[in-house]
Amino acid sequence: MEFSTKIRFADEKLKKSFEELKYSKTEDKNLYEWISKALKELEINSFCGIQIPKRLIPKEYYKKFGNLDNLWKYNLPNGWRLIYFVVNNEVCIVSVVIEWLKHKDYERRFGY
């Protein structure tokens, strides 16, 4: 059985931030293109990222999203990371984008 795959943002604020990147004139324009490419890949295969071990999932994610049983990162160019989790609602698979951050901020958030 094949599932359809969808991409969602964790909230409208994050979605708006992503859309605003498109009209930027700085490195953010590149970031928009990198994230767009990643989202297309996630639509094809939600599990194409790297799964983050449960013990490393930041507590703030549990507070915000409840009992996460999976968390993934997708490596973007220039050290950026796209963080998402996958939900299977038995009709389709949904990849929910939580945030994107620079590598240094990613390392701090996950305690590396």
**CATH homologous superfamily of domain 4-110?**
RelE-like (3.30.2310.20)
Residue-level pLDDT at 1: 46
In sequence order, the 6+-apart residues with CB closer than 8 A to the CB of 25 are none
Q: What are phi and psi of 22, to 5 degrees?
A: -60, -35
Residue-level pLDDT at 91: 62
Residue-level pLDDT at 59: 92
| pTM (2 d.p.) | 0.85
**Strand order, beta sheet including 81-88:** 4-9, 92-101, 81-88, 72-75, 50-51
Residue-level pLDDT at 28: 86
Q: What is the DSSP string of 61-108?
A: HHHHHSS-S--EEEEPGGG-EEEEEEEE-SSEEEEEEEEEE-HHHHHH
pLDDT in tens, the chain (112 residues): 456 788 999 999 999 999 999 998 887 899 999 999 999 999 999 999 999 999 999 999 999 988 888 999 999 999 999 999 998 766 677 889 999 999 999 999 988 8
CA angle 94, 33, 16 (to 5 degrees): 60
Residue-level pLDDT at 111: 86
Residue-level pLDDT at 93: 78
Please give the single-letter amino acid code of residue 105.
D
